[in-house]
């Protein structure tokens, strides 16, 4: 694992943006798996600045949504869908032909997961997976448990996930999570893990211990051959 300690959140975000751009130049049809939340926001904004300078660079890039709050409106401003539309899809000119994501209000959440599983199995591989580190060590909605699910699935959300600022501001009842599974994440060509903020110090130290356990799902990233982990000084302690 390539661990880089960054001077601050801005430094972290610039390094993440530069890495994505380098890979995009090599792989114009790059499939980006996109996380939401505060950690990648500035990275996406910096990608938009690159788009303004050279929008043709993004003409063939595609995006897949990492996870979604289940049972809430796709138009809810605190949904993952609304976040990606605001910070990534619209700023980079990614239309529906180059985007796939969970429908938060599907009549059958299980069938929605099957749809995503089929897409990944038959049509695509993830070139870059952007991840954040949850307060309890989760990645996406792969929560600490005795067992982890390899494929897209309906997730029971932990208390920590329900305390996420997005969920606290939702003003809708969140019933479950929809998420890619651990196998799909670990099959990505490159994983970009972004860890930022003083509140992440404790879980960051647990992650850096390199002890692999289902009770800290992010620890499975130590098994991947190509992970870049960017940690700002606040999170690194």
Residues identified as active-site: 67, 136, 138, 143
d(CA 167, CA 165): 5
Q: Which of 145, 160, 8, 152 is nearest to 66 (CA)?
A: 152
Cβ–Cβ < 8 Å for 148, 215: no
Q: CA angle at residue 215 from 211 to 221, to 5 degrees?
A: 50
Percentages (nearest 5) of helix, strand, coil residues in the chain: 40, 20, 40
Q: Compute the distance between CA of residue 174 and CA of residue 138 in angstroms, rounded to an integer.
A: 18
93, 52 Cβ separation under 8 angstroms: no
Q: How many CB atoms lie within 10 A of CB 122?
A: 7
Length of the chain: 237
- Look up tokens 């390539």; give the residue: 2
Burial class from Cβ neighbours inside 10 Å (0-12, 13-18, 19+) for residue 160 reads middle
């Amino acid at each position: 694992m390539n661990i880089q300690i960054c001077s601050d959140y801005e430094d972290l975000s610039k390094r993440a943006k530069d890495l994505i751009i380098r890979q995009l130049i090599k792989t114009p049809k790059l499939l980006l798996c996109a996380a939401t939340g505060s950690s990648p926001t500035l990275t996406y904004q910096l990608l938009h600045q690159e788009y303004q300078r050279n929008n043709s660079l993004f003409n063939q890039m595609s995006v897949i949504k990492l996870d979604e709050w289940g049972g809430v409106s796709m138009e809810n401003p605190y949904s993952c869908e609304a976040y990606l539309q605001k910070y990534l899809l619209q700023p980079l000119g990614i239309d529906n032909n180059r985007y796939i994501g969970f429908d938060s209000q599907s009549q059958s959440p299980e069938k929605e997961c099957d749809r995503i599983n089929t897409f990944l199995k038959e049509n695509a591989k993830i070139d870059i997976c952007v991840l954040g580190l949850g307060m309890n060590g989760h990645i996406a909605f792969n929560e600490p448990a005795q067992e982890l699910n390899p494929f897209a699935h309906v997730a029971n959300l932990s208390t920590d996930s329900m305390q996420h600022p997005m969920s606290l501001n939702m003003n809708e009842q969140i019933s479950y999570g929809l998420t890619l599974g651990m196998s799909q994440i670990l099959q990505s060509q490159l994983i970009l893990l972004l860890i930022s903020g003083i509140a992440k110090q404790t879980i960051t130290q647990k992650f850096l211990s390199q002890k692999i356990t289902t009770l800290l799902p992010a620890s499975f990233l130590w098994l991947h051959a190509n992970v870049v982990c960017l940690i700002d000084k606040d999170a690194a302690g």
